[in-house]
Amino acid sequence: MIELIPAIDIIDGKCVRLSQGDYNSKKVYNENPVEVAKAFEDHGIRRLHVVDLDGAASHHIVNYKVLEKIASQTSLIINFGGRLKSNEDLTIAFESGAQMVTGVSIAVKDPELFTGWLSRYGSERIILSADAKDKKIAVNGWKDVTTVELLPFLKEYVEKGISKVICTDISKDGMLQGPSTGLYQEILAGFPEMYLIASGGVSSIDDIYKLEEAKVPAVIFGKAIYEGKIELKDLIRFIESVC
C-alpha cells in the first residue's frame, strides 16, 4: 500500500502552504501545527512531513520547537526538512524528535557533508530530496535551478547508499493539477528498489489512487487537504480500501 504522508509547512510557528515554493504566495491554514498533526493521527496517518520554511530561508534551523511539540504530543513518525545546512542542524532536528531528515541543497553543494550524514546515521534516517524542474535539480528553496540532471543525480546517491528519495516536481507543487506520475514511473523503472516518495500536485484522493496503481511507494500531500479537496475521512476510507 502506498504510504500517506501529509505535510505541515511552518512559518512563524504556523501551518502554511506555498505555491511552487514562492514565499509571496503564503497562506496560513492553522496557527497550531500540533492541532493539525493530531487530526492527521486521529484519521489513520502514521507519518508526517514537516518543513521548516523559516529555516529554509535562513542560515540555520528555526522551528525546532514546533517539531518538538508535534513529536512529544503525537506518535507520528516525522520526516523533517528545511535546508538543513550543518551537523548542528541535524543534531537539533533529531534531538527535537525527527526520526528522519531530508536534504537537497546540501547534497548538491556539499556532497561530502551529506554523504557523511548518510554514513553516520544510515539510509533509514537520511532522505535525499530531489526537487526538480524540467528534470533538473533546484536548490536554495527552489530559487535556483542547476544544470544537474535528475536521473544521474539519483544514480550517484543510490550508489552511495541512499534508499529513500522525495521527488518534487516544482512546477506541480501547490498547484492542485495532479502529480507527475509519469516521472515517478520513469524513476522507478530505473531504480526499482528505491523507496520513492512522490511530492507535488496532488489534487484529490483519486490522484493518490492513481499513484497507488502506479506502485509509487509513498506520497506527500498538503494543499489538497487544507483546501478541502481531500477530507480527513477520505484518508481513513483510502487506508481501509487498499489494506
E strand or H helix at 29: strand 22-30
CB neighbourhood size of 193 (10 A): 8
Tell me how far apart the alpha carbons of residues 216 and 35 are, in angstroms, rounded to a whole number. 29
Strands 77-81 and 100-103: parallel
The residue annotated as part of the active site, out of 9, 54, 89, 207, is: 9
E strand or H helix at 175: none
Contacts of 21 (CB under 8 A, 6+ apart): 141, 142, 143, 170, 173, 174
C-alpha cell at 73: 504530543
Instruction: Report the amino acid identity of residue 25.
Output: S
Tell me how far apart the alpha carbons of residues 92 and 111 are, in angstroms, rounded to a whole number. 20
The residue annotated as part of the active site, out of 54, 89, 131, 169, is: 131
131 labelled catalytic: yes
Contacts of 224 (CB under 8 A, 6+ apart): 176, 202, 203, 204, 207, 230
9 labelled catalytic: yes
- DSSP-derived secondary structure for 123-165: TTTEEEEEEEETTEEEETTTTEEEEEEHHHHHHHHHHTT--EE
The catalytic residue positions are 9, 131
